[in-house]
Amino acid sequence: MSSQKDNILRSIYAIYEMYKKGYLGGKILPEDSNPGLSKSSIDNYNFFTLTVALDYQRNAFSLWESAKKTFLDPSTVQVFDPKLVINMSNEKLKKYLCEYNLALQPNKHTEIWRKICETMCFLFDGDIRNLFIETKWYIPDILKLVQVTHKSSFPYLSGIKLCSYWLHILEKYTDATFNGREFLSIAPDTHIIKATHKLGLISADMLKDNKIQLLVAEIWSDLLKETNLTPIDMHTPLWLWSKSKFIDIERR
């Protein structure tokens, strides 16, 4: 078993190196389509928080392009200001979110967007950065607050996939510096699950398990213990490896 684990770890490190060298592509990622705001600004945190909240079972490139267009249009940018959203009529919010297809499910996505804005206003004075200040930027405490204490206040964002992805994105595109990164699980989306299967870490039958996301997250957490990689470090490399149709890692 140890030999099998060693072989898998060698493959993982090879994939990681391929990613760093650009062999997997990824020069332009979906989230790179953003307004180019100051990393430390509240608008930047709002943009990446609210957009991630709608990143569920849809084309990532289209989502982020829609979000960027919505932000750059003076007539729709107000949807990224939580304090304006909570006083906005439902019809107006829906219209603005649908203008550039940011909301693909008009009713459901509008409801989620409004709920996240209400959470930001009523719990964190309209500034999501206050959540991180309150938890001292410590991942385990952030996860507990979002996924347990106030779970119902964070629709979609409290899920195991989007919560990890959200914090990963904030770390990359804002000035957020989190403590306890090793406690941040991989974001088990479709591509991560496929890559996990390709590496032989889960069977075909396990793919049908309704708890597959939790299972995959636990597998990566256990596998990377006592290595210099954290689970979230492998998110983008594995995502790109899956998108590349699992380019042969033995030839690199």
Together in a domain, 152 and 230: no
Q: Is 250 within a domain?
A: no
Place of tokens 């392009």: 65
Residue 249's pLDDT is 86
Together in a domain, 171 and 206: no
Contact 35, 1 (CB under 8 A): no
**What's the CA gap between 139 and 20, in Å, rounded?**
25
Residues 6 or more apart in contact with residue 236 via CB below 8 angstroms = 19, 26, 29
Question: Consecutive sets of 10 residues in the chain, 252 residues long: mean pLDDT of each?
Answer: 84 96 92 98 99 94 98 99 98 99 98 98 97 98 98 96 96 98 94 97 93 96 95 96 90 48
Together in a domain, 200 and 176: no
Together in a domain, 62 and 137: yes
Together in a domain, 116 and 235: no
Out of 183, 207, 235, pick the residue that ends a domain.
183
Together in a domain, 193 and 96: no
Question: Cα 70 vs. chain centroid, distance in angstroms?
Answer: 20
Residue 227 structural domain: 2-29+185-243
Together in a domain, 55 and 10: no
Q: Is 248 within a domain?
A: no
Counting the structural domains of the chain, the total is 2
Q: Is 172 within a domain?
A: yes
Q: Which amino acid is at 215?
A: L
Q: Is 249 within a domain?
A: no
Together in a domain, 164 and 197: no
Q: Which residues of 123-160 are buried (b: 16+ CB within 10 A; e: fewer)?
A: bbebbbbebbeebebebebbbebbeeeeeebbbbbbbb
Together in a domain, 67 and 143: yes
Residue 191's pLDDT is 96
Residue 250's pLDDT is 62
Together in a domain, 145 and 80: yes
- DSSP letters spanning 61-123: HHHHHHHHHHHHSTTTGGGG-HHHHTTS-HHHHHHHHHTTTS-SSHHHHHHHHHHHHHHHHHH
Together in a domain, 175 and 159: yes
Together in a domain, 175 and 197: no
Closest Cα to residue 94, out of 107, 75, 78? Answer: 107
